[in-house]
Chains A and B, each alone.
Chain A
């Protein structure tokens, strides 16, 4: 399953917006059709050039950069929301405090020792210590940047949080067997991301304990499988779905529609889509029409769908 058959993964997602404190006011930032946009800034690229020359960088531009840095970052899957009930609330005040702390170097793990004095300073030890300290500071700086990025992106609200997860999945779903950043398989991260999000869906669908849901990444043709085995404590819901499910179905708010578990999108679109869904584990999937309803004004999470 790829983007190709029925359009990009986000075709069934409406745009969403958030207000960001920027300069003296608040600017709208917008996600639409897979793009992060800054309608409040006429020429963000020119602002970036100015910032590179020493000018102040607008908060909106910083956030757009952070978005760009993390659209393929698998750690987003581990931090971001698992379900609509899993609300992550970060305020812009939180981000402001974090940014100030990052700038001042307080609270970000950098040790603040006084000057070290040795009676007789062994050169090799000093060199080793300097190398270690540089490395530590570099790592600490990267870590603090990453935390600040993450905090800013989370502050955009659940709509952006969910869409970012969709973007990350889209960046990797076609290549689950290719090595990731450190040369390791990315399948564990994708499988855990799927497991963490399908389990609460299964709980709402069947009332099953989320710990009894065993998830694997589906490979090959077809949508996958959903089966129920065992009884009592040994009951297991065995779910095998492709990583794409997270982007095309879950991120679009389609996971559960009309008491059906949606396993694939046949024809993506907003507000009308056609999905493949199963009524019960082991049942053959049926094709259903879904109609999307945007959230109430002021909310920008995943849309609600009705069959």
Chain B
């Protein structure tokens, strides 16, 4: 990795912008600033440039541009005048977040234990006054930081249609459930402290139960309890071995360079950001702008990654990215190599989906499938899949992420650097679906994440093949699914 080359590249880009060489995008304030920001993000994301240095370069660039416009003529294109107030108020370019409030220091011993993960697959009906519905338990996960259920709620009131997942969290009667273990100890269900209030699917069990309890009885108000068997699948007297934990995962090396890994993340961001049926005339035209704006930074990023020596000029990934852009009708990406033909199978599957002209006529019912599938550690992160959910036409995977995720910081072109893994699912019909994080409950070294599948499932798959990819390795596992549907 050539850190000096990375910094030099960003500084030279600033010089080009100062000359006005980067002015073909209309940026009235600091021409070229957005391209510099994208490159700065990319170089910091791969660790070639520290965020403080990148921020200083961008800040000085902004100062240099603005001071030249203090007495410019108004409305003269790029020479637009800048008021002194603007000069004064401009702060630092934001490239990193210093005020991230990490969770409390955690017990290392607790972190070392991967935990107990049990697929549940139990629907618990409830009624509390005018509110009724179902608590759909997908999985139970107990780690060093505590115990929780991953669940979907179906809540109905006289005014609300029952739907899985999309609830008004205030209506969920956590406190009316009673939970008892096989030794008679009682527990409370609660919203995850500090968690995303709009995402009540992670239900904390307080206090954390002993690790060797055999079952939990969950009793809704005025109803018989439903029993959650926590013994390992296949153990004597335990659950019958539904296989929802899946087969042993296969791990293989990927050997991506940091630059290639970032480009793969960008490609996947482009894939998940593509509209449905882009060749559909007006719809495509309306959605082309954001994708084109995103892809406009690709050439700059590739040049910067090569300058930082984190991307080989012989790497096949830029050519694949060019193919992706061409397939999605995105031009102006600035990638200097011709498109390639050796595309990864999941990318091709998703492209094929986008190039269909009609939506799938079959609509899948709202439902969920229990999962408890720990995957091998990838790049220092352990991912455990804890449930699949389909609601209102959207499909989601719930997962626990253990390990040190990067501090929250913006990635280039809206890439989520906090989840530096790819997660693909191939359904039993052969279609690939890409998971993109859309909800987080963050902890210091342990977080839960909900990943939206793109495209959504259209049929209740009998199984899914999971492909989790990191920079150094990827893991594959086949997981059988049993779908359950609330009433």
The secondary-structure label for the interface of chain B is helix
Q: A78, B67: Cβ atoms under 8 Å?
A: no
A191-B11 contact, Cβ under 8 Å, with A89-B70, A150-B63, A182-B53: yes
Q: B70, A90: Cβ atoms under 8 Å?
A: yes
Stretch of B85-93, B159-167, B210-218 on the interface side = B85-93
Q: Does B352 sit at the interface, judged by CB under 8 A?
A: no
Chain A residues, CB < 8 A from B70: 89-90, 94
The residue on B at minimum CB distance from A80 is B64
Q: B88, A147: Cβ atoms under 8 Å?
A: yes
A188-B84 contact, Cβ under 8 Å, with A78-B57, A143-B91: no
Cross-chain contact of B52 among A89, A182, A211 (Cβ < 8 A): A182
Cross-chain contact of B88 among A79, A108, A128 (Cβ < 8 A): A108
Given the complex of chains A and B, what is the CA–CA distance between A155 and B98 in angstroms? 34
User: Closest CB-CB distance, B307 to chain A, in whole Å?
Assistant: 11
User: Closest CB-CB distance, A148 to chain B, in whole Å?
Assistant: 9
User: Closest CB-CB distance, B473 to chain A, in whole Å?
Assistant: 32
Chain A residues, CB < 8 A from B92: 143
A101-B8 contact, Cβ under 8 Å, with A82-B18, A211-B21: no
User: Closest CB-CB distance, B54 to chain A, in whole Å?
Assistant: 11
Q: B67, A154: Cβ atoms under 8 Å?
A: yes
A79-B89 contact, Cβ under 8 Å, with A184-B53, A191-B8, A192-B11: no
Q: Does A195 sit at the interface, judged by CB under 8 A?
A: yes
Given the complex of chains A and B, what is the CA–CA distance between A148 and B53 in angstroms? 21
Q: A200, B8: Cβ atoms under 8 Å?
A: no
Given the complex of chains A and B, what is the CA–CA distance between A46 and B247 in angstroms? 82
Given the complex of chains A and B, what is the CA–CA distance between A196 and B71 in angstroms? 22
Q: B88, A101: Cβ atoms under 8 Å?
A: yes
User: Closest CB-CB distance, A187 to chain B, in whole Å?
Assistant: 6
Q: Does B14 sit at the interface, judged by CB under 8 A?
A: yes
Q: B60, A88: Cβ atoms under 8 Å?
A: no
A109-B91 contact, Cβ under 8 Å, with A82-B18, A196-B18: yes
A196-B89 contact, Cβ under 8 Å, with A88-B67, A88-B68, A211-B21: no
Q: B88, A98: Cβ atoms under 8 Å?
A: yes
Q: B88, A107: Cβ atoms under 8 Å?
A: yes
Q: A75, B56: Cβ atoms under 8 Å?
A: yes
Q: Does A281 sit at the interface, judged by CB under 8 A?
A: no
Q: B101, A128: Cβ atoms under 8 Å?
A: yes
Q: Does B16 sit at the interface, judged by CB under 8 A?
A: yes
Given the complex of chains A and B, what is the CA–CA distance between A107 and B90 in angstroms? 8
The residue on A at minimum CB distance from B63 is A79
Chain B residues, CB < 8 A from A89: 70-71
> A128, A187, A199: which has the most chain B beta carbons within 10 Å?
A199
Q: Mark B79-119, 1 if CB is under 8 A from A, else 0.
A: 00000110111011000001101000000000000000000
Within 8 A of B (CB), among A226-262: none
Q: Does B286 sit at the interface, judged by CB under 8 A?
A: no
User: Closest CB-CB distance, B208 to chain A, in whole Å?
Assistant: 21
Cross-chain contact of B11 among A82, A128, A150, A189 (Cβ < 8 A): A189
Cross-chain contact of A78 among B52, B53, B64 (Cβ < 8 A): B64
User: Closest CB-CB distance, B418 to chain A, in whole Å?
Assistant: 20
Q: Does B61 sit at the interface, judged by CB under 8 A?
A: yes
User: Closest CB-CB distance, B393 to chain A, in whole Å?
Assistant: 40
Given the complex of chains A and B, what is the CA–CA distance between A195 and B453 in angstroms? 47
Q: A108, B89: Cβ atoms under 8 Å?
A: yes
Q: Mark B144-174, 1 if CB is under 8 A from A, else 0.
A: 0000000000000000000000000000000
Task: Write the residues of chain A forming the contact surface with B, with a CB cutoff of 8 angstroms.
Answer: 75, 78-79, 82, 86, 88-91, 94, 97-98, 101, 107-109, 125, 128, 132, 135-136, 140, 143-144, 147, 150-151, 154, 182, 184-185, 187-189, 191-192, 195-196, 199-200, 210-211
Known pairs A132-B98, A136-B99, A191-B12. 5 more at Cβ < 8 A?
Answer: A86-B68, A89-B70, A184-B50, A187-B8, A211-B19
User: What would 24 A/B residue contacts be, using CB atoms closer than 8 Å?
Assistant: A79-B60, A79-B63, A79-B64, A82-B19, A88-B67, A90-B70, A91-B71, A97-B84, A107-B89, A108-B89, A109-B89, A125-B101, A132-B98, A140-B91, A151-B67, A184-B50, A188-B4, A188-B7, A192-B11, A192-B14, A196-B19, A199-B19, A211-B19, A211-B21
